[in-house]
Structure 1
Amino acid sequence: SEALLIGLQDFEFAFSEDGEERRFYYHTQKTRELDNLLGDIYHKILDMERAIIRDLVCRVLQFLPQLTKAVNFAAELDCILSLAIVARQNNYVRPILTEDSILEIRNGRHALQEMTVDTFVPNDTKIRSAGRINIITGPNYSGKSIYIKQVALVVFLAHIGSFVPADSAVVGLTDSRIFCAMGSKSMTTEQSTFMIDLHQVGTMLRHATSRSLCLLDEFGKGTLTEDGIGLLGGTISHFANYDYPPKVLLSTHLTEIFTENYLPQQSEHIKCCTMSVLNPDGQASNEDIIFLYRLVPGQALLSFGLHCAQLAGVPSEVIQRAASVLEDIHSKRPVRRMICDNLAAKDKQYQDAMAKLLAFDPRKGDLNHFFEDVFPPEA
């Protein structure tokens, strides 16, 4: 305090620092003597530190080639040991690489997804000379994207020399092109998700070979439905016209491509699969749907989007309104106006007010009583 400093005549204020607690610094006769004797030693210490660091860097740089080799060796060893530990802990198997352009995976799993769930359902993959274009349909939340990514991870891990999450795997050598159009958005680019997808698919169509692996997840969903169907159908037809197409895994909800002439008729290159569900009543709005996460041959024409919305915690009034709109659309009738209790009460209030206004005679009635009747005071 100031009273304390008055009693310390030898203290001379130097400077203060602001922070959580404000600090004040003072000179005494002893510190002034040390300043006169040693000067500002802090900067001398900094100069000596810089000189030592420069000398150390120069000495280290003399052994740069040897150090670089040692660091690269340690990094490679760390990667190999990490892959070996994960393979042992999660029961991976050694894949068989072949020069044939095939892909056979028995009970394949997603390397990351299986670590986050209690039970992971594995799936088989078999791509040979026929059925190289796999069109995968199925409900939302049924595992289509996970399946596509798990196949890509198995192929990638096999090519870098790792064991793979499967019971067995025969992987044909894939060229350097594993094309992905997964609908991801990069915050560093100034393009929409759909434009990014178009660039990726364009590159895929121009450069894919018979040894490429092409992944398309929900391509065409980012634009008008008719445009998306046309782009998706054109992409599939392009691959189907190859004499020996690349290995293609494609998931979609645009099931209109099956009902119209969007796809080549009876092409041996196209194979349809779906993620199976257990739906006892066969209704899209059934609440007892069970996702089996198992890939089976066939096509799915229902997405069960309302059921997925319910699982995601969307408010019930929103789901009810969506179900009403879908029912009207499927019945080809005009969509009914949404009925809200609050809006209906307001409409009734306005109608009553208008009726009283038309019945009111200003020459005989009491205006104050009229307005109190029309707009009663709030409790």
Structure 2
Amino acid sequence: MDAALGAPEKMRARHEELTPMMRQYCDLCAQYDGSLVLFQVGDFYETFCEAAEVSARLLEITLTKREDSTGSYPMAGIPIGSAESYIETLLDAGFRVAVADQVQDPEEASGVVDRAVTRIVTPGTLTEDELLRSEDNNYVAALAREGESADGEEYGLAFLDVSTGDFVATGSSSEETIRDEISRFAPAEAIIDPGLEGFDGFDADCMVTPYDPSAFELEGARELLDSYFGTPEKRLASDAEISACGALLSYAEYARGGQDGRLDYLNHLTRYEPREYMLLDRVALRSLELFEPRAVGGDGEHTLLGVLDETACALGRRKLTDWLRRPLLDPDRIEARLDAVSEWTTLVGAREEVYDLLSEVYDVERLIARVSRGRANARDLRALKDTLDTVPEIRAAMEGVESNTLRELRGELDELEEVRDLIDRAISESPPIEITEGDVIAPGYDAGLDELRETEREGKDWIDSLEKRERERTGIDSLKVGFNQVHGYYIEVTNPNLDRVPEDYTRRQTLKNSERFYTPELKRREDEIMAAEERADDLEYELFVEVRREVADESERVQAVAETLATLDVLVSLADVAAKYGYARPDIDEKPGIDIEGGRHPVVERTQESFVPNGAELSPEERLAVLTGPNMSGKSTYMRQVALIAILAQIGSFVPASRARIGIVDRVFTRVGASDDIAGGRSTFMVEMSELATILRGASERSLVLLDEVGRGTSTADGLAIARAITEYVHDEVGAMTLFATHHHELTALADELPSAFNLHFAATQTDDGVTFRHDVSRGAATASYGIEVARAAGVPEHVVERSRALVAEDALENATDGGRAVGDDGTGSAPAPSEPMSDPLADELRSLDVANMTPIEALTTLDRLKREVNED
């Protein structure tokens, strides 16, 4: 791949011997080393040598050859008109693409046509709608580090969505915090400080791009930031943040290729503090399925974002994603959002009207970004105007709103009358896609243009009537007047009628069956039309560019309106979901604890015909729940729903419950579900232990910790010991609110030993036909796991099921007769002393059992009863 990205070796070796065009290609490859150069030749983008061989294979296009006086070179090309789909394939294959366009009219070139790279396309700098695969943000990140000692090091992290202008930054002295923030934003691409080349905190699908190390130098970064936003120290907290932001700006400008690199639509750089938001690390985001389903190939609708997303426009979807990515910690801000959602739930008519208006809103952030980059066409401006036209109507629909948030949002809806008026006066109602072919500027906007168009129109009207006049004058009924791009206007006469051609006809073109002529008057009119048309097209383009520039000058105001519309869209969406699905407004306070009545899993309840609600109560006095119950009874769903309800509450949403009180949760930790890291050489158990170490280091008394089957990846004894030790540490040292699901029933004894621990269980009803899971949670410990019944329900062959039952019965009998207690039944994980014999009546009953003639259900039930009696004894 590297060979394909650099200047072709065959060309470098003979650079001075190359033809001018091939020298130009070779120089561009060297200048944009690391990118695959698409080189415009006429209507195609061509690649040569190694790049051509790679392109032909990846894009499934024909590999040909270019031959000239200096040799033969492999060549492969793609049509410019369909280039974006091919570029997408190259990006997917891990390439960066430099697009080299002809920047000179070939007719004006005295030698080789000038070409220059006009854009560099990378996963993180996409701006084209055809390449942006979703409405979600597409971030490129920059990571920098300043400081020489371990104590003095500070990381700076910045994220930029080039397509919308969203630009945020943060910093920390903790590498773990930086990793968590990277997971939060999931960038598509990243550039890193040269001193951090070994950093491995980016996902595998994030392209880490080598970039000019000097871009991270502090003084240059400071100057670049100052030219955009003023003194960077007023916005950013450290030199590392300045370095990261400056390098990221430099890279975004570089991606514009040979164009003026400045990104004038970047009006805001926002620094945020990670501690201002609930932290959801990579593990939590995935296990709670906020944005992506855990199942490979799962439906994106079966995520928290999927079930909440009733947004009307792209602006709202991105804002909702951001809110889920960063739930709030400030109760006042949460309550302000809840007030707005609450009011929208009562204003049904107004809510529906605003939703309908928002559904007409285009992606204004990306529109205004294209306008500012000079890439918007006339249709884009019309779309912008159509969006801005909804603003007065939305304001009217919000007349009389009462919550502070909605009143403030209504006040922030700038109607931008001058921008709307300019576009309305200047741009045709139905303009063409191309801005160089006329009919872009509306009649009446420019008198000079109107005069040229009138001259053109009069000339064409004269020509339209010419055919009738010439037929009458010559008596040739088959005479035709036409036009083509090569010869212009003509009068066509068939061969049998050539003897009737007037003397003032001048031959223009000879065809097989006819001749084409022009007259002096036709030539004069043609010259007038062509001159007027050319001047009009040039003037239209100049006028359009000027209108686009004037609109771009108001980009900051447009972006502010987009921000307001996005927030409104999310609040309307949350209210709509609350009304449709019976969500309740949560009570928010700063006292640690979670108290939920009738809670439901927001995703699972949408996929099932019925869902059993469950409550949850965690407090400083009872903060650690040991959760037991059969497989498939709902333990994992229950734990996740508690976390999701807390997240929903802290983004300002109503929650799927009959009532809920949420004490601010600063972080959600999850160790739920098995996973491994094959590429990294880590087993499931190693991944589990790493995640647990993160929890034990990072959790606080305000955190919510979900632990599911800790220790199952090793031996039973080791697993039980690890699970018990972790439970004790979380209880004694961390103090976090914890839900701990386990099949180690020995751990239920912790409820008697740890003052803030208690037992919860999911019960099941067993009959001869199998096990019925009730899915409701109750106080106390479960009496059995029913693993064999779950195996049977899963379709395990009946003879395997029966053999499993027999083995369990034999093991239970052996344990019961061998000292009276199974290992660990006393909650300590150790066997009782041999000197503690079983009571005689129980021993006699055990000896009298005829297990061989019992049904498996009868044997297991009897032995389970006797086991409980032994423990009680």
- The two structures share one fold, judged by TM-score above 0.5: yes
1:111 pairs with 590, 593, 602, which one?
A: 602
Report if the CA contact (8 A) 2:596-2:616 is conserved: yes
After TM superposition, the structure 1 = structure 2 runs for residues 1-379 of structure 1, keeping only pairs within 5 Å, are: 58-60=373-375, 63=552, 65=556, 69=560, 72-175=563-666, 177-185=667-675, 190=680, 191-242=682-733, 245-258=735-748, 263=750, 266-279=753-766, 286-332=768-814
Q: CA deviation at 1:133?
A: 0.3
Aligned CA distance change for structure 1 residues 111 and 188 (closer, same or farther; 3 Å)? farther
Report if the CA contact (8 A) 2:751-2:758 is conserved: no
CA distance in 2, matches of 1:332, 1:287: 27
CA distance in 1, matches of 2:566, 2:81: 39
CA distance in 2, matches of 1:133, 1:189: 35
Aligned CA distance change for structure 1 residues 108 and 44 (closer, same or farther; 3 Å)? closer
CA distance in 1, matches of 2:779, 2:748: 14
CA distance in 1, matches of 2:689, 2:648: 27
Q: CA deviation at 1:220?
A: 1.1
CA distance in 1, matches of 2:591, 2:622: 15
CA distance in 2, matches of 1:318, 1:69: 66
Report if the CA contact (8 A) 2:672-2:706 is conserved: yes
CA distance in 1, matches of 2:567, 2:646: 20
Deviation digits for residues 12-68 of structure 1, max 9, x if unmatched? xxxxxxxxxxxxxxxxxxxxxxxxxxxxxx8899859999x9897742596365565
Q: CA deviation at 1:239?
A: 2.2
The alignment's TM-score, normalised by the length of structure 2, stands at: 0.30
Amino acid at match of 2:710: F
Report if the CA contact (8 A) 1:183-1:193 is conserved: no
Identical amino acids, percent of aligned pairs? 32
Deviation digits for residues 312-346 of structure 1, max 9, x if unmatched? 1222122123223323332339xxxxxxxxxxxxx
Aligned CA distance change for structure 1 residues 56 and 200 (closer, same or farther; 3 Å)? same
Q: CA deviation at 1:270?
A: 0.6
Amino acid at match of 1:59: G
Deviation digits for residues 126-157 of structure 1, max 9, x if unmatched? 12232210000001111111110010000000
Amino acid at match of 1:94: R
Amino acid at match of 2:608: V
CA distance in 1, matches of 2:751, 2:807: 34
- Matched positions, count: 282
Q: Please report the RMSD computed on the Cα atoms of aligned residues, expressed in angstroms.
A: 3.2
Report if the CA contact (8 A) 1:183-1:197 is conserved: no
Report if the CA contact (8 A) 1:185-1:193 is conserved: yes
Amino acid at match of 2:739: L
SS, match of residue 800 in structure 2: helix
Report if the CA contact (8 A) 2:626-2:748 is conserved: no
Report if the CA contact (8 A) 1:245-1:269 is conserved: no
Aligned CA distance change for structure 1 residues 189 and 181 (closer, same or farther; 3 Å)? farther
Deviation digits for residues 181-218 of structure 1, max 9, x if unmatched? 11242668623222222112111112211111111011
Deviation digits for residues 253-310 of structure 1, max 9, x if unmatched? 0113346xxx485322110010022236xxxxx5342211111111114110111112
Deviation digits for residues 56-85 of structure 1, max 9, x if unmatched? 774259636556555555544443333222
Tell me whether 118-127 or 150-159 shows the greater mean CA deviation. Answer: 118-127
Name 1:374's counterpart in structure 2. Answer: none
CA distance in 2, matches of 1:193, 1:256: 23
Unmatched 5+ residue regions in structure 2?
Answer: 1-78, 83-100, 106-116, 119-127, 129-258, 260-369, 377-548, 816-873
Report if the CA contact (8 A) 1:240-1:264 is conserved: no
Deviation digits for residues 225-263 of structure 1, max 9, x if unmatched? 111101110011112324x8211011000113346xxx4
Aligned CA distance change for structure 1 residues 186 and 70 (closer, same or farther; 3 Å)? farther
